[in-house]
Amino acid sequence: MRELIKVRRTLSDKVRLCILKILQEGDELCVCEIMQALDISQTRASRNLGILRNAGIVTGRRGGV
């Protein structure tokens, strides 16, 4: 039951729903691409991706240049 509540709370945010929609439409994206698509700051994009990752809805990986 706790997991369900966690997922519902996670999906109750408009920005997180928009991130999921963008991820469904394309392949793997970096934070900068999500920032540009939603016109949000890097901090906001990263924070919301972290929340989605902690809820087990998305996975992430770190990559360098």
pLDDT, tens digit, for every residue of 2-61?
A: 888 888 888 999 999 999 999 998 778 989 999 999 999 999 999 999 999 999 999 988
- Structural domain that includes position 35: 2-53
Cβ distance 55 to 49 under 8 Å? no
Query: Does residue 60 belong to any structural domain of this protein?
Result: no
Nearest to 26 by CA among 14, 37, 42: 37
Any idea what the CATH number is for the domain that residue 10 is in? 1.10.10
Residue 1 in this model has a pLDDT that exceeds 70: yes
How far is the C-alpha of 54 from the C-alpha of 10, rounded, in Å? 9
Query: Does residue 61 belong to any structural domain of this protein?
Result: no
DSSP, res 20: H
How many domains is the chain partitioned into structurally?
A: 1
Query: Does residue 14 belong to any structural domain of this protein?
Result: yes
